[in-house]
Amino acid sequence: AASYLEPSTVIETSTTTTCETETIPPLSLPTPLQPIFSTPNALISPLFVLAVAMMLLSLLFAQKFSRSPLQQIGQVGPRGRKYHSWNESTSGGCGGRFIDWWIFGGSVWIRAALCLWDGMAGTHSSHGDNHDESSGENLFACFGVAGNKADENAADAYAKKEGEFTHDHTLSSTGIFGFDSSLGGFGPICLAPIRASVFLIGWCSVCSFLKISYNELVDFATKLADPASAGYFQQIPSIYREKIGNVVVSILYFIQEVMNLGNDLVEKKSDALEDAWLPTIAYAIAFIGVLEFSLYLIGSTCMLLRIYRPMGVSHPGGARPHKIVRSPQWKEGKEHFMSQQLLSGGYSSSHDGMKESGALSNKWRCAVAHDSHRDTIKKFNYIKSQKDDDVSSSLMTGEPFGRQIWTLNETQPPFGKEVTEDDIENELKQELVPNLKEEKKMDEKTEENNNIFGPLSPIGDLVQNIFSFDRESETSKEKSKQDETSKLIKKMASGGRNPMAFDPSKNPNSCDQIFRAQMITSYLEKNDGKFPNDISYLQDKGENDEANPPKTAMEAAKRGVAFYSLLQSTDGHWAGDYGGPHFLLPGLVVSWYVMGCPSVMISPPQQALMLHYFKVHQQADGGWGTHIESPSTMFGTVICYLAARLLGAQKDEDWIKSGRDFIQQEGGAVMTSSWAKFWLCLVGCMDWKGHNSVPPEMWLLPNWFPFHPGRMWCHCRMVYLPMGYLYGSRFIYSQAETDPLIEELRNELYCEPYDSIEWDRTRHLVASMDNYSPIPTFMKFAQNCLSMYENWKVFRPFRDAFRKAGLDFCLEYMRAEDLQTNFIDIGPVNKALNMVSAFHSANNDINDPAVRSHMMRVPDYLWVAEDGMKMQGYNGSQCWDTSFAIQAVWECGLLDRFPILSAKVWAFLERTQILSTECSQSTPAYQYESCDSRDKFYRHVSKGGWPFSTSAHGWPISDCTGEGLKGVLALMDSPVVMDGVKRGVLNDIEPKRLYDAVNVILTLQNEDGGWATYENNRGFGWYEELNPSEVFGDIMIDYSYVECSMASLTALADFHEKFPDHRTNEITFAIKRGAEFMKSIQREDGSWYGSWACCFCYGCWFGIEGLIKSGESASSPAIQKCCQYLISQQRANGGWGEDFTSCYDKEYAANGMQSYGDDGSGVVNTAWALMALSAAKCNDVEAVRKGVRYLMSRQLECGDWPQEGIAGVFNRACGITYTAYRNVFPIWALGRCVATYGDNIDKDPCNEEHKSES
């Protein structure tokens, strides 16, 4: 460096004839890069100090003006603005790769300038358009922290102008057009200097390295040129020494030129430190300007030449290079039947906690709504008095509508003056159905003689008769009628299978036969033993009569609706099996076991049904898959084996031996994934050192920290929250060291003695069959660092200082989650973990109120089908399925043909809107809707949204809100429903509630224009580099999805048609941006990847319908390309088919639904494809006609369709069941095709051609 080099350094370069002398110029440094201290190679220069100061001030600014804990450093753009298409294709200016931030992140300066302009102008205009002031809350949390008092007043004024009720939540006029960072309008102003600081600190580091390198090279060159130099240099021949010297000199000149950058801008040297700051600032501005312009040119060139294009965070990417090659295998032709003992609640096991029992008088039944609440209260012995009107609400909080549980108890009478869904249904029948009153005046005696379903006939008795093998009747005539009806009901409920048989080798998906039989029986009991008119032929048909197939598509649709109406619950929703994953139930079983096996939580009859489930789903190799259609995995096998043993299965049983052999062949339980290891640690079958650290202190990080747990996807966040608490507490089953079963399991699960295992060496072990998302190297490095943090004594003072605070926050956060969801919790995994955490925090007191409240909600997750009792992936899919179903009926034009069905759906959707009814607003959950609570606990706005399942669940989702809103808007077209509202038979859903739903949808739109699930995207693509799960993909942040985007923007479009004056410009622009996002994630082949179902047919339906509804022409390239893609996938039989491998491999299944469909096709995939093609008004009418004929050919005589392969998926790698899909989507597809193509869809082209020739 200039401060310590001589004026010149002479290097003599020798040749064979001459000795040349070359002078290397001294290294001159601009003033900003000169060391402040005397140490020659010091990094600290005026420029470095400026960069660090700017970074710290920006972070302090971010901390002070943070709008919420959802800091999105990187989410820098104002919503609705589109400056550069290359930048908007990424999420928040930061794509899925770090390179995207470096090259394409410079637009933050433009945004910062516009932010300042908006601030000075006092407006929030968007790209020159005049948008409405928003009455909605600010994007991030709709947390509702207004930017200033003026904003709040403006929002209030708008609300008054619209005649809307303004609740006490603070509003912000920035609303939907506010900035997408949690810093609000300050976001870009903070983030731009942070970006500059990163570049300047990097440049200072490079300069320091160059200075050191320059000095070292000078010394090297001097020794190289000196003939008298000793050592290694003497061994180099002179000719090579000359060449090396020339290279070194060239490098030195290059360094000198680099370091001379900026010398012309600022003076070269300053003797006074205070004189260096102005040149330093000028140098920094020039450097950042030149660098950003250079990066812009590089990025533009790369995109122009298609060398590199940034892929948005939410783009699902192309096909996986590593395909799934294994398939599940079961013993062929082995049908499993649930014994009469199991169906009746009996059980048989030698386990200590289960005693022999004969068949009971009652059977398993599904209780819903108020009936389910009363049953739970009785189960927990909380009945005080039948006259106590408040006993139900005080113990079971939240809306009862939608709740569904399986019980052995008989229906309980209402509490006091409680108005139940049965009362509502009866009133609907009296008021809305013509001539019903006259029919009810029929002679009671005549009715009883002609109807085997007498008014006193309990549902449970008939269900018992249906599945009873030895039954007696008072008279042979009555017995004959019951036999005939029971046989018909069993056939209708079987979905085309052998009644009550379960053969996983044919199809591991249940048909929901038990539930469907109960609902059909209940319908007949309530409707004088008569089916709806469209399927009344079933009761007139003789045993030997030929089948009566539908003649037209609309006739098939009517039959489908008529059959599906039999399955509607009394509260208006459709229930069904939402199982599939095998890893959910074991978590509940472990929780039950470590809590002391309370029978009120899992009773012996439930244990028996659970064991049956595990037994029938075991594969031929002895293992279990991650889900029902998955090949065996260590994740599924280890955790299912553990649960089976805890439930009472004995180690010497053949099926248990087979499972143990599989585990040991794969290397023992140390080879399972991290989630399974966590449950093993809780129950005492693995040392905590074998599990990677989940430090609860992470929650204490400042909110602006780039990686914060509050930024993660809510499902991921809410699972790792209790994991952090239990890990930090080192929770272990209290009897682990004395329980003989735990001792046995320690010997069975491992290939070596338990006490000899070096647990720390097993943390990263995982079987290849589990490793869907391999842990990246950086994450392993981080986990190793955390292991040292956990185990090294040097860190103990720090841990002691912060761990308790972290644990306390985790407990407070879990408590908030419990109350916000009425102890249901967001999903089954965190439900079980939160329950164990509450148990631990209560000092293992099973009678603690919070623990009992948790146990009262366990039945919400359990479902009974012909394959046993399982734990569902949610507390059901009630609102989701019902919203789709009513839209299907609406598009068929059949709302008023089935008036009770439509009216009950209205009642259900009215009661299911979150925090919008008197009942839901009386719960503690409503108190957490305040700004401070949402701010503290990372929650988006909830009021006005619709859930996936029930109002009591409390988590609104963008697409569920969209579909729920569309369902309500569709029902507004029904004169019968609107008449019921007008007459007061049905509760009104006033416009303000619809405005709340629209606000939820608008505020959930991401910066990239798409919609995520529960919240806005708060993190970055590189968060997936920290995914610790191994078995799931894309779980770290809330991405934008084609499904959520379509549901949201189509809901906005439908709403805008009926309410054109509400937030017009915001809605219009949101739809436009949503359409742009959907086109941005369309694949090159024209398809869309479906992230929540199997898979491309599903994604294509959402993609096409979303674009069409947003105003895209059916002839646009995007839509035509997708239509061509779908037609290319149509199979010879006219249908379409995919299985789970499409989701896993991200590539259309080559053989379609080969295993569980019909010659590779499936009714659900076919329905999705037809809905997409008909929405696009596809010109290939024959392709659509073939698909329609396929659906009609697959329809069963009763109007049902067969249950085929698994339909749903989540996190790329796990399938989940939707039994409702086989009914809803074929109906919808048939109705839409008829509406689009008219009678032309039913024409046979061959017959038409023959007629023409004649």
How many residues does this entry show for the chain?
1254
Based on the residue annotation, tell me whether 860 is a catalytic residue of this protein: no
Amino acid at site 279: P
Instruction: Report the C-alpha gap between 621 and 662 in whole angstroms.
Output: 7
Distance, in Å, from the CA atom of 520 to the CA atom of 500, rounded to the nearest integer, reads: 15
Kindly report the number of other CB atoms within 10 A of residue 538's CB atom: 17
Q: How far apart are CA 560 and CA 866, in angstroms?
A: 23
Q: Which long-range contacts (CB under 8 A, 24 or more apart) does 777-781 make?
A: 778/1025, 778/1026, 779/1025, 779/1026, 779/1027, 779/1028
Q: Which of 268, 257, 269, 266 is nearest to 287 (CA)?
A: 266
Select from 1050, 1051, 1043, 1165 the least CA-distant residue to 1102: 1043
Strand ranges for 1183-1232 from DSSP E = 1208-1210, 1214-1216
Cβ neighbours around 426 below 10 Å, total: 13
Nearby residues of 288 by Cβ (< 8 Å), 6 or more positions away: 196, 199, 200
Token pair listed for 275: 């004189």
Contact 1192, 556 (CB under 8 A): yes
DSSP string of 325-380? -------TT--EE--HHHHTT-----STT-------SS--EEEEHHHHHHHHHHHT
Range 597-634 burial, b when 16+ CB lie within 10 A, else e: beeebbbbbbbbbbbbbbbbbbbebbbbbbbbbbbbbb
Angstrom distance (rounded) from CA 145 to CA 122: 18
Beta strands 501-502 and 404-407 are: unpaired
Tell me if 1038 sits within 8 A of 988, measured CB to CB.
no
DSSP state of 499: T
Contact predicate 1110/1071, CB 8 Å: yes
Please list, in sequence order, all residues whose beta carbon lies within 8 angstroms of the beta carbon of residue 383, skipping any fewer than 6 positions away: 377, 391
Q: Is 893 exposed, middle or buried (0-12, 13-18, 19+ CB in 10 A)?
A: middle
Cβ within 8 Å of residue 757, ≥6 positions away: 670, 687, 690, 750
Q: What's the rounded Cα separation, in Å, for the pair 694 and 677?
A: 13
What is the spatial distance between Cα 292 and Cα 308, in angstroms, rounded to a whole number? 18
**Alpha carbon distances (Å) from 849 to 127, 400, 596, 813:** 55, 20, 16, 17
- CB count in 10 Å sphere of residue 344: 21
Cβ count within 10 A of residue 974: 23
Burial string for 1049-1079 (b: 16+ CB within 10 Å, else e) reads bbbbbbbbeebeebbebbbbbbbbbbbbbbb
Helix axes of 46-65 and 277-304: crossing angle, nearest 10 degrees: 70
- Six-digit token string for 692: 């990677």
The one catalytic residue in 959, 996, 1034, 1242 is 959
**What are the beta bridge partners of residue 1158?**
1161
Strand partners, 366: 406
Q: Angle CA(616)–CA(622)–CA(624) in degrees, nearest 5? A: 65
- What are the residue numbers of the active site? 959
